[in-house]
A and B are shown apart, each in its own frame.
Chain A
Amino acid sequence: MAAPLTLLFLLAVTVRAALFNSSLKELISDRVEVVSPLTAWKRVIEGLALLDLGVSPYSGDVFHETPLVIYLFHFVVDYAEVTFMLADLITAGCLYMAVKDYNKQVFRKQKFALEADRYPLDCLELIRSPKEMHYIPLKVAMFYLLNPFTILSCVARSTCCLNNAVIALFILSTIKGNLLLSAVFLSLATYQCLYPLVLVAPALLYLLQHQYIPVNFRRPNFWWLVAQYLFMFGGSLLVVVCLSFFLLGSWDFLSSVYGFILSVPDLTPNIGLFWYFFAEMFEHFRLFFLCVFQINVFFYTIPLSLKLKDHPVFLIFMQLSIISIFKSYPTVGDSALYLSFLPVWTHLHRFLRNIFLVSCLLLASSLLFPVLWHLWIYAGSANSNFYYAITLVFNVAQILLVSDYFYAFLRREHHLTYGLYLKRKDGSEAAMVLK
């Protein structure tokens, strides 16, 4: 498997290097779909310039990245392009290894279940074979590296690539069962953009499962692991935040990064749902809807964790997609991360209901973004409503995609318990009803 992976890496690097050296680079790095006020490379450069001048990079309202990122680029700013390519390769490599490991476990679990005679007899066609699972890790890496969204964010030098790399490292260390590294990378990801906080739940569920500890509130070893993980997570988060404080010598960054993420003062159009809504919002209701929108991101954690208690990796996928849909400053790079997980769920394809519609919608809206932007901003013949309509379509498509996968996953699990061909008690064919 090493050879195709190397080839893939070479191809990805070539494409990126070519784009880096083309005139498209500047064009791409100005696109609102690709960079957000949080991740824009221009703003990082501005922050670096301020830092070099001895001014706090957070003075003014331009720079909103975390202090660690700016200190990272303080050293590697001359190799920024290499850094971003490297980040992408790390993400792809981590995902590759993580999925490979995960597939092994899935297969092992399936074997146990088969041996324990736990599947209904008519479910054989749902059983996954090692042959079809063989290429999934490579496909995941390919989906990430060759996804136009990833390429665009890499070429735009959006720091979203770094966040993705950190999250990929977190996923890898979680799947490997490494408690400490998982907590550290999760705290780094949380430190970077706050929302990955919700990944604590799937990580805990996975690690519990990995150590064969049942989720039982009366068991001390359950609480012991949870406490351990939360302590490591909180501790490393504290260390990172304090480190930032000591680097900068002020707490400016807290309000400038997290306050900026939570209170959404920048209403520059992007592919998210916030900007239009809050531009139109009556001032009186702003705070309320701000809370509603932000709670919305964290809202699904508990019900999803309850429902997907036994499938933490799928839960990670769900949470990642929810974050990238509902976060305050989303970019296409965020979507790229969870989209790269789609090959892992190829076995769900027979249960997907509107995958054709969704892919058409995603494709069309991705193409229409620049068109309507041009019509609105440059030609002046359209207005913000047009652009927002497309962001709505894009997000609805993403939501449809995710809920489709969620439903398909639940349905497959259901079939694995009850048999593929459901019958009522009188023997007539039964239809599935989602409750």
Chain B
Amino acid sequence: MGRWSHSQLSMDEGHVTHGGTVTLSNALCSHSQTEMATTEVERRRGQLAALSIAAVVIIVGVPLWWRTTETYRAWLPVSQIKEFATLQLLLSVDVEVVFSRGTVSPEQQKKVPMTQTQDEEHRVDENTALKYRYEIRYRTATIMEEDALKQPTASDADLSLHALSENPCGSLVVYVIPESSSLLSEDVDVYIGQKRTAILRLGAQMRVGRTLEQLLAHLEPRIKKILHMMSFSHTDITAALSDRVRLAPGNRENIVDSMRAFKSSPGYEITFSLLNPDPKSHRLHWDIESAVETYVQPLLTKLAPIANFSIDSQTLYYAMLGVNPRFDISRSSYTLNAESLAHVINPVEARLGSNAASSNPVLNFLLYVPDALHSPLHILDRKKQAVHSNAFHSPRWGGIMVYNVNDVYGPEAVLPVDININMAKVMGVFLAQLRLLLGVQSSSPPPGFVVASCSSTGLADWELDRLMWSRSVENVATATTTITSLAQLLDQIGNIVINDNIAEQVSSAVTSLQLAVAELEAGNLGFALQYSKEAILASERAFFDPSLLHLLYFPDDQKFAIYIPLFLPMCVPILLSLIKIASDARQKRREKQAKKD
């Protein structure tokens, strides 16, 4: 009881002296010792707590931050990619020149060099050089080949020669026949076969008194010409390099030619669409499936090494052209002139739709059957002449054919009229357009050349070779630019994460590119195309990988915006308490020193 009153008393004292002079009671004095101790303990606890927070932040937080937010950059073969900045392509072609009987004398035969290599160098621009190597092998014809060449016509000879041997992709055989041979008609010097053979007739001046040197010198330019026709010409190759090299504004024809064909791609979608704007009058039937099977599929099978194709077809009703055709009284038909054709496609295209699942380019082939009121419809060329095929094509887009049906039925016919479309006629046009759009060259042969008519596949072997040469070069050019620009981009922007899969793609693209270049040098066209396709696929996949974009637009100053709101409030008290601890420690040391002194 006494204790309670005592403390009560001292409390009262406290009240009395409140704000006045300090009169420490005995009781309070007795506390001062423990007080000091508890103060010290509390202080130490506070310091420990602050230290532990700082320790966790430093020991756990900083490494964690470092580890989890570092931009992962997988290793890229940069030095190898840099080598692609300067591209030196060497294209080599094997040519076999076969002398038939009567072209070389037996003495000369022995002297004929076995092989001869000719190099031709072109510098396209400061970073790109092209080198063509023609490896020409000479031999005389075997007995069987002599027999084959004795056939009455060139095409027969061509066929029997094929039966004798199979030439690898990218190589050529030139049979030299004497001037007196009756195989080729008077004005024809060169016959180009369906496969990879050509028959060359010696010129008249070579008949008598020639030496072997003269003969070879005579042959050389002609063989070059055949090579340019059957494998590649410098213009083709430079056009194929357009992705890499800015072409000098050369002649217009070349540019138009090079821009017509689709860019090289590992796959294409082909869509055949039948546009029926007037289903009330015409009930159209087209047997597209068997037509594709008969006419298109053989060509595509042959083109399989170049790319994968997928075909679909559709019928669109009430699909109108974007242009109103004009009625031409002199022709008593409606006409579309060349200038207005440009406006035809866009309104139709909106309705075509496309395969959303693939990013391959789409080749559209439209068969337009004009409505009964606007029939017949003819397409006029720039000279105001009706186009024979009644079709036109748009570069890198597809082709449109107008198919008039007004003469199939008379005025008294009951509508709607059932109409079967003549697919042979349609497909003839579409195939020609398809060849153009895929870049199968059909430039007219130089004078004195005769080209064998296409077989059922619609594509001669040498045409395929030509396409493969230019596609390989194009793929290599595109892949090198893609991969070098990707490397440049990644080098410039350090924020981009490079995942392992991207590094893998880049490496595989680089390897494939090296292989493709090596195969081109070795003259293995098939492998070269295969590798170049792999290279382009891998490089595009790496370039367009979405993971590259994550941090692309994520500059450093935005990082402050991310960190500051969360961490600044946290850091200030920690830092302050750490500073306080440090200053306390310093003061203590100073006091100690003072005591020592």
Please choose the segment from B13-21, B125-133, B368-376, B521-529 that sits at the chain A interface, where 4 or more of its residues have CB less than 8 A away: B13-21
Q: Known: A117-B3, A302-B56, A428-B19. Contact between A288 and B11, CB under 8 A?
A: no
B28 at the interface (CB under 8 A from A): yes
Q: Are A307 and B10 in contact (CB under 8 A)?
A: no
**A315 shortest CB reach to chain B, Å:** 12
- Tell me the minimal C-beta distance from B12 to chain A in angstroms: 9
| A-B residue pairs, 6 tightest by C-beta | A303-B49, A121-B10, A288-B68, A121-B7, A302-B52, A427-B22
Contact yes or no, B38 A292, CB < 8 A: no
A132 in the interface (beta carbon within 8 A): no
- B566 contacts chain A at the CB level, 8 A cutoff: yes
Beta-carbon nearest neighbor of A414 in chain B: B42
A:269-304 near B, CB below 8 Å: 282-285, 287-289, 291-292, 295, 299, 302-304
Can you list, as one digit per residue, whether each of A394-435 has a CB less than 8 Å from chain B (1) or not (0)? 000000000000000000001001110101001111000001
CA distance A373 to B50 in the complex (A): 40
Contact status A427-B20, CB under 8 Å: yes
The answer, yes or no, to whether A26 is at the interface (CB within 8 Å) is no
- A427 / chain B contacts, CB cutoff of 8 Å: 19-22
Residues in B neighbouring A292, C-beta threshold 8 A: 61, 64, 566
- Distance from B551 Cβ to chain A, minimum over Cβ atoms (Å): 6
A114 to B1 CA separation, bound complex (whole angstroms): 12
Shortest CB-to-CB span from A303 to chain B, Å, is 4
Residue of A nearest to B13 (CB): A121
- Residues of B within 8 Å of A307, CB to CB, are 45-46, 49
- In Å, the complex CA distance between A309 and B42 comes to 10
The digit string for A305-317, where 1 denotes a CB below 8 A from any CB of B, is 0110100000000
Cβ of B35 < 8 Å from any Cβ of A?
A: yes
* B105 CB-CB contact with A under 8 Å: no
Taken together as a complex, chains A and B put the C-alpha atoms of A283 and B550 apart, in Å, by 8
Per-residue CB contact flags for chain B residues 55-76 toward chain A (1 = under 8 Å, else 0) read: 0100011001100110100000
> What is the number of residues of chain A that contact chain B, defined by CB distance less than 8 Å?
35
CB-based contact B64/A291 at 8 Å? yes
Tell me which residues across on chain B come within 8 A of A417, comparing CB atoms.
Answer: 34-35, 38-39
Picked from A122, A124, A288, A299, the residue with its CB within 8 Å of the CB of B64 is A288
A303 touches B50 (CB 8 A): yes
When the two chains form their complex, are residues A121 and B27 in contact, meaning their CB atoms are under 8 A apart? yes
Cβ B497 vs Cβ A284 within 8 A:
yes
The answer to whether B68 and A287 have CB atoms under 8 Å apart is yes
A121/B11 in contact, CB under 8 A: yes
Given contact pairs A120-B28, A306-B49, A307-B45, a sample of 16 additional A-B residue pairs in the complex whose CB atoms are under 8 Å apart: A120-B31, A121-B6, A124-B7, A124-B11, A284-B497, A284-B551, A288-B64, A295-B56, A299-B56, A303-B49, A307-B49, A414-B42, A417-B39, A419-B14, A426-B22, A427-B21
Tell me, yes or no, whether A353 is within 8 Å of chain B by CB: no
Distance of A291 Cα from B3 Cα, bound (Å): 56
Chain B residue, CB-CB nearest to A287: B68
Interface size class of B (residues with CB under 8 A): 35 or more
B554 within 8 A of A: yes
Q: Evaluate contact between B19 and A291: CB separation under 8 angstroms.
A: no
A118 CB within 8 Å of chain B: yes
- Decide if B48 is an interface residue (CB 8 Å cutoff): yes
Asked if A282 and B562 sit within 8 Å, CB to CB, the answer is yes
A284 to B551, CA, bound (A): 8
The reply on B25 being an interface residue by CB < 8 A is yes
A423 touches B56 (CB 8 A): no
Interface string of A366-404 (1 = CB under 8 A from B): 000000000000000000000000000000000000000
Question: A291 contacts which of B68, B71, B577 (Cβ < 8 Å)?
Answer: B68
Output the nearest chain A residue to B558 by Cβ-Cβ distance: A282
Dominant SS at the A interface? Answer: helix
User: Known interface pairs A287-B68, A423-B22. Does A122 touch B554 (Cβ–Cβ under 8 Å)?
Assistant: no
> What residues of chain A lie closer than 8 Å to B65, measured between beta carbons?
288
Chain B residues packing against A (C-beta within 8 Å): 3, 6-8, 10-11, 14, 18-22, 25, 27-28, 30-31, 34-35, 38-39, 42, 45-46, 48-50, 52-53, 56, 60-61, 64-65, 68-69, 71, 497, 550-551, 554, 562, 566, 577, 580
Q: Which of A284, A299, A428, A429 contacts B554 (CB 8 A)?
A: A284
**A428–B61 Cα gap in the complex (Å)?**
44
In the complex, which residues of chain B have a beta carbon less than 8 angstroms from the beta carbon of A418? 35
Give 17 CB contacts A-B under 8 Å.
Answer: A284-B497, A285-B562, A292-B61, A295-B64, A299-B53, A299-B56, A302-B49, A302-B56, A303-B50, A303-B52, A306-B49, A307-B46, A419-B14, A419-B28, A421-B18, A427-B19, A435-B577
Cβ-closest chain A residue relative to B53: A303
| Closest Cβ–Cβ distance, residue A318 to chain B (whole Å) | 13
| Residues 117-154 of chain A, each 1 if its beta carbon lies under 8 Å from chain B, else 0 | 11011101000000000000000000000000000000
Q: Are B60 and A121 in contact (CB under 8 A)?
A: no
How far is it, in angstroms, between the C-alpha of A40 and the C-alpha of B544 when the chains are bound? 42
Q: For A302, list chain B residues within 8 Å (CB).
A: 49, 52-53, 56
Question: Inside 8 A of B71's CB, which chain A residues have their CB?
Answer: 284
Shortest CB-to-CB span from B262 to chain A, Å, is 36
- In the complex, chain A residues whose CB is within 8 Å of the CB of B56: 295, 299, 302
Bound complex: CA A122 to CA B15 (Å): 9
Shortest CB distance A383–B (Å): 20
Shortest distance between the CB of A262 and any CB in chain B (Å): 14
Closest chain A CB from B234 CB (angstroms): 49
Complex: how many Å from CA A421 to CA B17? 11
A421 touches B45 (CB 8 A): no
Complex CA–CA separation, A114 to B10 (angstroms): 15
Tell me whether A284 and B22 are in contact in the complex, defined as CB-CB below 8 angstroms, given that A124-B7, A299-B56, A303-B50 are known contacts: no
**B69 contacts which of A285, A304, A306, A435 (Cβ < 8 Å)?**
A285
Contact of B46 among A114, A421, A435 (CB under 8 A): A435
Contacts of B10 in A (CB 8 A): 121-122
Measured between beta carbons, the chain A residues less than 8 angstroms from B39 are 417
Q: How far is the CA of A284 from the CA of B550 in the complex (A)?
A: 8
Nearest chain B CB to A254 CB, angstrom units: 22
Residue of A nearest to B22 (CB): A427
Q: Is the CB of A284 within 8 A of B69?
A: yes
Contact call A295/B19, Cβ cutoff below 8 A: no
- B562, A124: Cβ atoms under 8 Å? no
What chain B residues lie within 8 Å of A428 (beta carbons)?
19
A262 to B18 alpha-carbon distance, docked (Å) = 56
B53: min CB distance to chain A, Å: 5
Assembled-state Cα–Cα distance A412/B497 (Å):
54
With the chains together, A153 CA to B60 CA distance in Å?
36
List chain B residues, Cβ under 8 A from A114.
Answer: 3
Distance from A415 Cβ to chain B, minimum over Cβ atoms (Å)? 12
- Residues in A with CB closer than 8 Å to B34 are 118, 417
Residues of B within 8 A of A124 (CB): 7-8, 11
Q: Which residues, 301 to 341 on A, are CB-close (under 8 Å) to B?
A: 302-304, 306-307, 309
Picked from B52, B61, B562, the residue with its CB within 8 Å of the CB of A306 is B52
Q: Is the CB of A282 within 8 A of B7?
A: no
Name the residue of chain A whose CB is nearest to the CB of B64.
A291
Q: Give bound CA distance, A433 to B497, whole Å.
A: 48
By a CB distance below 8 angstroms, the chain A residues around B21 are 427
Q: Specify the chain B residue showing the minimal Cβ separation from A429.
A: B19
- Given A282-B562, A427-B20: A309 and B45 interface contact (C-beta under 8 Å): yes
Q: How far is the CA of A304 from the CA of B68 in the complex (A)?
A: 28
User: How far apart are A174's CB and chain B's nearest CB, in angstroms?
Assistant: 22
Expressed in whole angstroms, the Cα–Cα distance for A414 and B42 within the complex equals 9
A121 to B11, CA, bound (A): 6
Question: Cα distance A431–B486 when bound, in Å?
Answer: 65
Within the complex, the shortest CB–CB distance from B58 to chain A, in Å, comes to 13
Q: Which residues of B contact A423 (CB under 8 A)?
A: 22
Cβ B497 vs Cβ A121 within 8 A: no
Q: Which residues of A contact B6 (CB under 8 A)?
A: 121
Provide the bound-state CA to CA distance between A223 and B68, in Å: 36
B555 to A: closest C-beta gap in Å: 12
Which residues of chain A have C-beta atoms less than 8 A from B27's C-beta?
Answer: 117, 121
Query: Please, how many angstroms separate the alpha-carbon atoms of A120 and B71 in the complex?
Result: 60
Within 8 A of B (CB), among A82-116: 114
- In the complex, which residue of chain B has the Cβ closest to the Cβ of A283? B550
